[in-house]
Amino acid sequence: MKLISWNVNGLRACVGKGFGDFFAAEGADIFCLQETKLQPDQLELPTPGYRQYWNSAVRKGYSGTAAFCRREPLSVRFGLGAPDEEGRVITLEYPNLFVVTCYTPNAQRELARIDYRVAFEDTLRAYLCRLDKEKPVILCGDLNVARSPIDLKNPRQNEGNAGYSKEERAKMEELLSSGFTDTFRSLYPDKEGAYTWWSYMFHAREKNAGWRIDYFICSDRLRPAVRDSLIYADILGSDHCPVGLLINEDAL
């Protein structure tokens, strides 16, 4: 089974930059998007063989998530149990697991939104732990944090900045210590230069001066079923690249 997650930074723009070719070529069982920046009626996107689920922000042109699935879920949930006005979370329930796609809020320049960010992290972690008591969980998406120095090109210069603050890193480690695994680092603990986001400035992508902030995180007990955790660094169309997870078919 193949799952793919991609922060498309505006799906309408990404469709014009080859989204459909990548979507068709990969043939994922579940394809999750973040930062769609649209309402479903603003884009005609044929995906034959897939069911589409959208969680759009109330504010137009902002945030938003989507999930395209070959297999119909048992249930689909939007948000974390409260109104999700920024369209940040979709949960797909299958017989043997939950798949959650998430677009975590950015703490913003000078950590202007760090209190909101930390509260969101606490709510997300509690939600995932509740799900995990029912059945294993796969969390994917743009989690807007680089875990450790190996996960960004210039850690010293970015110490304390949004995405690499001590508060955000601590919340990531708190999640992982609650019974979850960062699948990429589990398989590739020492791999350097593995990034999923690059600034549009200073030719950052050409220089591979990036950050790994897009993840597949799974319940610890699912780790033996993980075959690979992928970064599609050569796929353009957004300032993020897609990430993927290959997991044993019987997980679903």
Are 5 and 249 within 8 A, CB to CB? no
Q: 90 and 65 in contact (C-beta within 8 Å)?
A: yes
The confidence score (pLDDT) of residue 252 equals 63
pLDDT single digits (tens) 97-133:
999 999 999 999 999 999 999 999 999 999 999 999 9
Q: Count CB neighbours of 132 within 10 A.
A: 20
41-68 mean pLDDT: 96
Any idea what DSSP says for residue 152?
B
**Residue 251 pLDDT more than 70?**
no
Annotated active-site residue in 29, 84, 132, 142:
142
What is the DSSP code (8-state) at residue 9? S
Q: Are 12 and 37 in contact (CB under 8 A)?
A: yes
Q: Is 94 annotated in the active site?
A: no
Q: Cα separation of 252 and 235, whole Å?
A: 27
pLDDT band of 25, cuts 50, 70, 90: very high
- For residue 42 the two structure tokens come to 């603003």
Q: Is the C-alpha dihedral spanning 34, 15, 252, 72 positive or negative?
A: positive
Assigned CATH topology for domain 2-251: Deoxyribonuclease I; Chain A (3.60.10)
Q: Domain boundaries in the chain?
A: 2-251
* Catalytic pick among 50, 53, 94, 103: 103
**Residue 35 token pair:** 């930062």
Strands 89-93 and 75-78: antiparallel
Active site residue 142: yes
